[in-house]
Each structure stands twice: as structure tokens, then as C-alpha cells.
Chains A and B, each alone.
Chain A
Amino acid sequence: EAQVTQNPRYLITVTGKKLTVTCSQNMNHEYMSWYRQDPGLGLRQIYYSMNVEVTDKGDVPEGYKVSRKEKRNFPLILESPSPNQTSLYFCASRGQGNQPQHFGDGTRLSIL
């Protein structure tokens, strides 16, 4: 089954404790991206990747890092999380051209 898998689904942690949210897709998609979704603000893009070893900033990249060492994986790293990064995060992937985005089920992060 074609899917985007994120882990963990839920995480409560404390300020400053490094964390990684993993994202994996099994559709051999070139493009992958991370979004955060906050009430009233909609989906905002954090980082995206057009292929292996090619990443670029989205609209709200501050406080986040990503890497794309393999085509299927695109982890999101919070080196020193802060409470303003409490949010619902989505990973997405898509193929070339006008192919639609496939989203994971989301990761709800709470930073205390």
C-alpha cells in the first residue's frame, strides 16, 4: 500500500531536548516536504527536498533541520525545541510534475 509513515504520532517533551521526527515513503517519490499546522494559520511549509541531498527552506524553517540521505526518508530534526514549536506536523511526498501530495497521518508535538 502506497503510504507516507511518520513517527512518532504523539510526543510530549521539554524545552531544549533534541528530537527527531522520522518520515518514510514507499512510492519512490522525488519530492518530500514538511509542514506544520496551527489553528488559524493553516499548513505552513518548513522545508522541502527535490531529491537526495537537495533540500531547501520553506516559509518557516527557523529552529528546524532536515536531511535527505536516502530517497525514501526525510527526517525533521529539532535541535533545541522551544514551546513555540508545539504544533501538528505533517510530512508529504509527491512525484514529478503536477502529481498530488501524499500526506502522513501527522505528528502532534508538545514542547513544555
Chain B
Amino acid sequence: SQKIEQNSEALNIQEGKTATLTCNYTNYSPAYLQWYRQDPGRGPVFLLLIRENEKEKRKERLKVTFDTTLKQSLFHITASQPADSATYLCALPDASGGSYIPTFGRGTSLIVHP
């Protein structure tokens, strides 16, 4: 199955700066990759999907890149705000058994300081 690596250390940044989070995977390149946000004690909420033939995807202050050569996705939040503080998870479809149920990384905690 897919192995997904996200930085386990929390990312601390100042309000207004750009946050960049990394998701690396080790096995086959997936057809797409998703990013979710999770607040403490709540279920993850879907943010963005990027397909393997897309280099970049944007949604408001969010930007995701997908490099299938490096087996890496970067997730950027520009002009970050304290309300952006949360854990961000990347997810890749696991094709084993044909289910394509996503496998999640462990997530990276983002803390935006006012």
C-alpha cells in the first residue's frame, strides 16, 4: 500500500506569511491527491484535489502543487491567519483491491501566531 510522509513537527509561522506544507509518497504515483483540514476533535474537511496531469491548483488563498517526478505535493496558504491554525492532511487513493479508498498521511499541525 501507499506510504505517505508528512512533517510530524508543527509548523509555526507569523500571521500574514505564507505557510508551506509537504506531502511525500513512496510507491506508485496516484491519479490524484487530496488535501484536508482537521480541527481538534473534529472530522477532516476536504479542501482541494489535484490530478496527476495538473501541476498546480488554486482556491482563494490556497495553492497545491503536484510533482510526480519527486513524488511530492506542496500545500501553500498565503496571507495566513490565526484561523488557519489546524492540522492538514494529505490523502492518496489506495488502489489495492480496487477500492480507491484514500489513505491519509499523519498530518502536519500549522500554528499561525497573531
Give the size of the chain B interface in residues (CB under 8 angstroms).
Answer: 26
Within the assembled complex, what's the spacing in Å between the Cα atoms of A50 and B34? 20
CB atoms of A31 and B104 under 8 A apart: no
Give the tally of cross-chain contacts (CB within 8 A): 56
- B-chain residues with CB within 8 Å of residue A58 when the two chains form the complex: 101
**Chain A minimum-CB-distance residue to B105:** A42
Give the size of the chain A interface in residues (CB under 8 angstroms).
Answer: 26
- B-chain residues with CB within 8 Å of residue A41 when the two chains form the complex: 106
* Stretch of B13-21, B44-52, B77-85 at the chain-chain interface: B44-52
Shortest CB-to-CB span from B22 to chain A, Å, is: 15
CB atoms of B49 and A98 under 8 A apart: yes
**Chain A minimum-CB-distance residue to B106:** A42
- A-chain residues with CB within 8 Å of residue B36 when the two chains form the complex: 100-101
- B-chain residues with CB within 8 Å of residue A74 when the two chains form the complex: none
